[in-house]
């Protein structure tokens, strides 16, 4: 879909399952176009600004040639999820009747974990493009601990590729318009792709000229009016996003991240952090195993956790 084309609209016909790894508790649904989507709900704790960020950053990524699943607007009737056993999830559905945001489901995709990253090769220019997009859009949630990247496909003869997902935490400036600085630099030393030697300067030279006011206006136009509530009108809100991002892209010299620690440096830093944590724990607690998750080899990659 070309930027500026309205997002396709579908109607959810079957609720499959919730995804519980993220605070927003998205759900997998089937729709009347026979597609399967991961749906982020308007009633989630993150609010509609997270959906605005998903649309703007995701569509910008696609316009710049990065791999990002198609977004659709999903008409959702909570009645189709009446069998959901958990009350808090049912309450989320009840607060989300109407139009929500869906992302094309990637069957069998794997999370880009540190274990996967050990054997997966990423070209420095591709890494640079992704880091550059995250820096432009102030996406602080693509780290070595939470990559929000998927490897797909994982079967067949097509080589696996990196796919971007989950940009709800980006555009941090829209949470405080009056205190935001378009030239602000963010700390991307722990970016999920930092140890691949991302060529952010080449990415800046390639991508910055393409992020024009025209492109930004076309992308922001895809956000539903009902999700733009910061200003007196949706038109004013759209203009604010365009102005901020266009100003920021022209100031890339001020925020372009160029220093990234190596794998060894990251491991050493993590060891120091763990040691400091252990020093502050009583002896009995130091013997308690980590019960917060399974080893990567035991995790179920059959659904992506958006």
If you write DSSP's letter for every residue of 17-28 in order, what string do you get? EE--SSTT--EE
Residue 285 has a pLDDT of: 58
244 and 157 within one domain: yes
Q: CA-CA distances (angstroms) from residue 237 to 2, 41, 82, 119, 247? A: 22, 21, 36, 43, 16
In a domain, 98, yes or no: yes
If one counts the domains in the chain, the total is 2
* Distance, CA of 267 to CA of 274 (rounded, Å): 10
Asked whether residue 294 carries a pLDDT value surpassing 50, the answer given is no
139 and 73 within one domain: no
Question: How crowded is residue 243: how many other Cβ atoms within 10 Å of its Cβ?
Answer: 13
Q: Which is more confident, 22 or 290?
A: 22
pLDDT, mean of residues 13-35: 92
* Distance, CA of 240 to CA of 234 (rounded, Å): 10
In a domain, 267, yes or no: no
* Distance, CA of 262 to CA of 173 (rounded, Å): 29
What residues make up the domain containing 90? 8-106
Asked whether residue 293 carries a pLDDT value surpassing 70, the answer given is no
218 and 127 within one domain: yes
Task: Please say which residue of 53, 72, 106 terminates a domain.
Answer: 106
In a domain, 44, yes or no: yes
249 and 141 within one domain: yes
90 and 216 within one domain: no
pLDDT band (50, 70, 90) for residue 220: very high
204 and 161 within one domain: yes
In a domain, 300, yes or no: no
Helices (H) and strands (E) in the chain, counts: 10, 8
Asked whether residue 296 carries a pLDDT value surpassing 70, the answer given is no
Task: Please say which residue of 106, 128, 158 terminates a domain.
Answer: 106
176 and 117 within one domain: yes
Task: Please say which residue of 106, 140, 166 terminates a domain.
Answer: 106
pLDDT in tens, 67-115: 999 999 999 999 999 999 999 999 999 999 999 999 999 999 999 999 9
Mean pLDDT lowest for which of 95-109, 210-224, 251-265, 285-299? 285-299
In a domain, 303, yes or no: no
Share of the chain above pLDDT 70, in %: 90
Q: Which is more confident, 279 or 218?
A: 218
If you write DSSP's letter for every residue of 161-192 in order, what string do you get? EEEE---TT--GGGG-GGG--TT-----TTBT
129 and 66 within one domain: no
pLDDT band (50, 70, 90) for residue 155: confident
Asked whether residue 297 carries a pLDDT value surpassing 60, the answer given is no
122 and 88 within one domain: no
Residue 277 has a pLDDT of: 78
What is the model's pTM? 0.88
In a domain, 266, yes or no: no
Residue 286 has a pLDDT of: 61
Q: How far is CA 300 from the centre of its chain?
A: 20
In a domain, 196, yes or no: yes
Q: How far apart are the first and last CA of the chain?
A: 22
Taking Cα atoms as reference points, which of 1, 107, 9, 103 lies closest to residue 51? Answer: 103
What residues have CB less than 8 Å from 54, skipping those under 6 apart? 40, 71, 101, 103, 166, 167, 168
Q: Angle CA(88)–CA(92)–CA(21) in degrees, nearest 5? A: 70
Across the chain, mean pLDDT equals 90
195 and 95 within one domain: no
114 and 101 within one domain: no
Residue 185 has a pLDDT of: 97
Mean pLDDT lowest for which of 60-74, 107-121, 281-295? 281-295
In what order do the strands lie in the sheet containing 110-111? 110-111, 149-152, 161-164
226 and 138 within one domain: yes
In a domain, 52, yes or no: yes
* Distance, CA of 127 to CA of 194 (rounded, Å): 8
């Amino acid at each position: 879909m070309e930027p500026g084309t309205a997002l396709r609209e579908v109607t959810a016909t079957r609720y499959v399952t919730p995804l519980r790894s993220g605070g927003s508790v998205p759900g997998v649904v089937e729709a009347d176009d026979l597609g399967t989507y991961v749906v982020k709900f308007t009633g989630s704790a993150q609010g509609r600004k997270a959906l605005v960020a998903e649309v703007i950053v995701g569509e910008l990524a696609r316009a710049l040639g990065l791999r990002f699943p198609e977004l659709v607007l999903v008409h959702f009737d909570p009645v189709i999820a009446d069998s959901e056993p958990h009350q808090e999830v049912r309450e989320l559905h009840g607060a989300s009747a109407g139009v929500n945001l869906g992302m094309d489901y990637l069957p069998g995709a794997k999370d880009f974990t540190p274990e996967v990253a050990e054997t997966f090769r990423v070209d420095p220019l591709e890494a640079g493009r992704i880091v550059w997009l995250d820096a432009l859009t102030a996406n602080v949630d693509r780290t070595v601990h939470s990559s929000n990247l998927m490897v797909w496909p994982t079967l067949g003869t097509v080589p696996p590729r990196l796919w971007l997902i989950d940009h709800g935490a980006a555009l941090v400036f829209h949470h405080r318009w009056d205190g935001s600085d378009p030239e602000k630099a963010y700390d991307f030393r722990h970016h999920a792709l930092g140890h691949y030697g991302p060529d952010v300067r080449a990415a800046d030279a390639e991508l910055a000229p393409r992020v024009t006011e025209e492109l930004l206006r076309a992308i922001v136009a895809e956000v539903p009016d009902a999700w733009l509530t910061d200003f007196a009108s949706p038109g004013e809100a759209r203009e604010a996003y365009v102005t901020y991002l266009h100003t920021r892209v022209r100031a890339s010299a001020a925020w372009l991240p160029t220093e990234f620690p190596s794998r060894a440096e990251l491991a050493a830093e993590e060891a120091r952090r763990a040691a400091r944590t252990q020093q502050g724990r009583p002896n009995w607690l130091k013997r308690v195993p980590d019960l917060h998750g399974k080893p990567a080899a035991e995790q179920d990659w059959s659904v992506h956790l958006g």
